[in-house]
Amino acid sequence: MVRPPTARSAVPGVGRLGLLEPSAAASLHELGWDNVESIPVLWALSRAPDADLALNTLVKLRERMENDWAALDSAIRAETALRGRLFALLGSSSAFADHLVVDPAAWQILRRKELPSRDELIADLLDAVRAVPEEGPNAGPLLFRAGESGPEVVALLRKRYRDQLLLLAALDLAATVENEPVLAYQVVGRHLTALADAALTAALSVAVARVCKDGPVPVRLAVIAMGKSGACELNYVSDVDVVFVAEPADATATRLAAEMMSVASAAYFEVDAALRPEGKAGALVRTLDSHVAYYKRWARTWEFQALLKNRPMTGDLELGQQYKDALMPMVWTASERPDFVADVQAMRRRVEDLVPADMRERELKLGHGSLRDVEFAVQLLQLVHGRVDESLHVQGTVEALTALAAGGYIGRDDAANLTASYEFLRLLEHRLQLQRLRRTHTLPASDDEEGMRWLARAAHIRPDGRQDAVGVLAAEIRRNAVRVRRLHAKLFYRPLLESVVKLEPEALRLSPDAAVRQLAALGYQAPEHALGHLEALTRGVSRKGRIQALLLPTLLEWLGETPNPDAGLLAYRRVSEGLGDQTWFLRELRDEGAIAQRLMIVLGSSEYLPDLLINAPDTIRMYADGPGGPLLLSPQPEDVARGIMTAAARYNDPKRAVGAARSLRRHELARVASADLLGMLDVEQVCRALSSVWVAVLEASLAAVIRASEAELGAPAPADFAVIGMGRLGGKELGYGSDADVLFVCDPRPGEDETKAVKWAISVADKVQKLLGAPSTDPPLLVDAGLRPEGRNGALVRTLAAYDAYYQQWAQSWEVQALLRAHQVAGDQRLGVRFLHVIDKVRYPAGGVSAEAVREIRRIKARIDAERLPRNANPATHTKLGRGGLADIEWTVQLMQLRYAHDVLGLHNTSTLESLNVIEETKLLDPSDVALLRDAWLTATKARNALVLVRGKPADQLPGPGRLLSAVARVAGWPNDDGSEFLDHYMRVTRRAKAVVERVFGQ
Q: How far is Cα 80 from Cα 88, in angstroms, rounded to an integer? A: 12
Report the C-alpha gap between 660 and 620 in whole angstroms: 20
The per-residue pLDDT for 982 is 93
Averaged pLDDT, 489-514 = 58
Percent of the chain with pLDDT over 70: 94
Least confident window among 406-410, 887-891, 947-951: 406-410
pLDDT in tens, 73-89: 999 999 999 999 999 99
Is pLDDT of 588 > 60?
A: yes
Closest CA to 118 of 83, 73, 173, 164: 164
The whole-angstrom separation of Cα 292 and Cα 880 is 50
* CB contact at 8 A, 997 and 895: no
The pLDDT value recorded for residue 345 is 66
The pLDDT of residue 302 is 85
Rg of the chain over Cα atoms, rounded to whole angstroms, equals 38
Return all residues near 358 (Cβ < 8 A) that are at least 6 apart: none
- Between 457 and 485, the more confident residue is 457
In the predicted structure, residue 693 carries a pLDDT above the cut 60: yes
Longest dimension (CA), the chain: 127
User: How many angstroms separate the CA atoms of 850 and 842, rounded?
Assistant: 12
Residue 363 CB coordination number (10 Å): 19
Residue 550 above 80 pLDDT? Answer: no
pLDDT at 51 over 90: yes
* CB neighbours of residue 9 within 10 Å: 10
| Lowest-pLDDT choice from 150-154, 619-623, 628-632 | 628-632
- Residue 2 is predicted with a pLDDT of 46
883 in helix, strand or coil?
Answer: coil
Q: How far is CA 167 from CA 88, 395, 428, 705, in A?
A: 12, 26, 19, 91
Residues 6+ apart with CB under 8 A from 881: 864, 865, 868, 869, 870, 873, 875, 887, 956
Percent of the chain scored above 90 by pLDDT?
69
pLDDT bin (cut points 50, 70, 90) of residue 445 is confident
pLDDT at 90 over 70: yes
Please determine, for residue 541, whether its predicted confidence score (pLDDT) is greater than 60: no
pLDDT tens digits, 732-766: 999 998 889 999 999 999 999 999 999 999 999 99
pTM: 0.70
For all residues of the chain together, what is the average pLDDT? Answer: 90
- Confidence at 504, pLDDT banded by 50, 70, 90: very low
Pairing relation of β-strands 132-133 and 625-626?
unpaired
CA 785, CA 476: separation in Å to the nearest integer?
67
pLDDT tens digits for range 169-202: 999 999 999 999 999 999 999 999 999 999 999 9
Q: Which residues contact 197 (CB under 8 A, 6 or more apart)?
A: 118, 121, 122, 225, 313, 314
Q: Once rounded to an integer, what is the mean pLDDT over residues 429-450?
A: 90
pLDDT for residue 150 is more than 80? yes
What pLDDT, on a 0 to 100 scale, did the predictor assign at position 505?
A: 38
pLDDT at 502: 45
pLDDT of residue 867 exceeding 90, the answer is no
Lowest mean pLDDT among 70-74, 141-145, 379-383, 607-611: 379-383
**Whether the predicted pLDDT of 432 surpasses 50:** yes
Tell the burial category of 984 from Cβ atoms under 10 Å away from its Cβ (0-12, 13-18, 19+).
Answer: exposed
Q: Using N-to-C axis directions, what is the helix angle for 979-1002 and 963-971, rounded to 10°?
A: 70
pLDDT at position 494: 58
pLDDT confidence of 524, banded at 50, 70, 90? confident
Question: Could you report the per-residue pLDDT of 327-340, keeping only the tens digit for each?
Answer: 999 999 888 777 77
Q: What is the pLDDT of residue 496?
A: 59
Q: At residue 6, does pLDDT exceed 50? A: no
Task: Supply the DSSP string of 280-315, one letter for each residue.
Answer: GGS-SEE-HHHHHHHHHHT--HHHHHHHTT-EEEEE
DSSP code of residue 779: P
pLDDT(858) > 60: yes
For the segment 643-668, the average pLDDT, to the nearest whole number, is 92
Extended beta strands in 288-435, E state: 311-315
SS3 895: helix
Using one digit for the tens of pLDDT, what is the confidence trace for 792-848?
Answer: 889 999 999 999 999 999 988 889 999 999 999 999 999 999 999 999 999 998 888
Decide if 665 contacts 697 (C-beta within 8 A): yes
